[in-house]
Amino acid sequence: MSESNKYLIVVAGPTAVGKTALCVQLALHFHTEIISADSRQFYQGMAIGTAQPSIQEKQGIPHNFIDFLPIQGSYSAGKFEKDVLSKLIYLFNTYQYVVLTGGSGLYIQAVCQGLVDMPLVDMKLREQLNARLQQEGLGSLCQELAMRDPIYYQKVDRHNPQRVIRALEICITTGQPYSSLYTKQPDTRPFQCIQIGLWRDRAVLYERINQRVEKMLEQGLLEEATALYPYKTYNALQTVGYQELFGYLTGDYDLGEAIRLIKRNTRRYAKRQLTWFRKIPAIHWLEPDNFEAIIKYINQHTER
């Protein structure tokens, strides 16, 4: 691969902003494939709750790294980095452009810049921390993280159990703060990243989120969550949409309250995604409906 003429078009942004539709347009325009960097869409059996694109939405475009892991599976940003880089070697033999998209900032960072090599973690420790999450709640784990690594505590999404548990695993295993591992320079890549962030007016985005939740429920989200309930302690299901419905299924509140919580928590999740991506200087922000402006921006950064 030549660094001068291979381009990874990265499309980031919050949930429900319109990444899927735009990326299909881009893939059709550039005659290429899409790689998903949505850590929730990796897992099987979660198609509705993670808004995996349907056959109709894909419009014949291959989507890689979607629906390929069992619920019980474990997958990290570091493993994703290695797998995607291997996949890109193959794809760039065929295409000049490849589209990478998702709302999981750490996974996008892993592909574009690289991550440090993380130490192996004892699965028993992970099971213990997940058990504590169920028994004591996320607040207790956050308090421990604040003591072990106050720097990362200020950065981490403290509403995301997977992020908090992962940081605690490293702190406990190595005896060092998790933040101390993020000091290396970005890795070089044999391709160029063109990073685009999608945004909409907040009121518009929040209404799209509310409508998406209603659509998911019409598609069978409650039935999907019911089928997944026996696996509710696995990391894959520590996410918005399922956790609220699990609360309904255990009788903590009624269905109406569960739906209200899903909408509220999804809006909060979108806000946290935007906060993450806005800290990345390389991202250029554009509206998803302005396809002409997006193509113009891409062409300005390529040889076309």
What are the DSSP calls for 156-177, one per residue?
A: S-TT-HHHHHHHHHHHHHHSS-
Residue-level pLDDT at 180: 79
Question: Which residues in the chain land under pLDDT 50?
Answer: 1-3
Largest CA distance in the chain: 59
- The angle subtended at Cα 105 by Cα 137 and Cα 160, nearest 5°, is 5
Put residue 134 in one of left, alpha, beta given phi > 0 → left and psi -120 to 50 → alpha.
alpha
Q: In this structure, how many other beta carbons lie within 10 angstroms of the beta carbon of residue 289?
A: 13
Q: Domain coordinates of the chain in residue numbers?
A: 7-115+185-300, 123-181
Tell me what pLDDT residue 2 has.
42
- Please give the DSSP secondary-structure letter assigned to residue 96: S
Q: Using one digit for the tens of pLDDT, what is the confidence trace for 14-51?
A: 999 999 999 999 999 999 999 999 999 999 999 999 99
* Sheet with 284-286, edge to edge strand ranges: 63-64, 34-36, 97-102, 7-12, 192-198, 284-286
Dump the DSSP string for 194-210: EEEEE---HHHHHHHHH
H-run or E-run covering 98: strand 97-102
Supply the DSSP symbol for 80.
Answer: H
Please name the amino acid found at residue 36: S
Q: How far apart are CA 283 and CA 195, in angstroms?
A: 5
- Which two structure tokens, joined as six digits, stand for 223? 């039935």
CA 222/CA 219 separation, integer angstroms: 9
pLDDT for res 206:
98
Q: How high is the pLDDT of residue 1? A: 41
Q: The whole model's pTM is what? A: 0.82
Pull the structure tokens for residue 101. Answer: 């998209």
Please report the DSSP string for 111-128 in residue order. HHT--PPPPP--HHHHHH
Which CATH number is 123-181's, of 3.40.50.150, 3.40.605.10, 1.10.20.140, 1.10.10.10?
Answer: 1.10.20.140
Give the bridge partners for 11, in sequence order.
101, 196
pLDDT digits (tens, 9 = 90+) for 89-104: 999 999 999 999 999 9
Domain 7-115+185-300's class? alpha beta
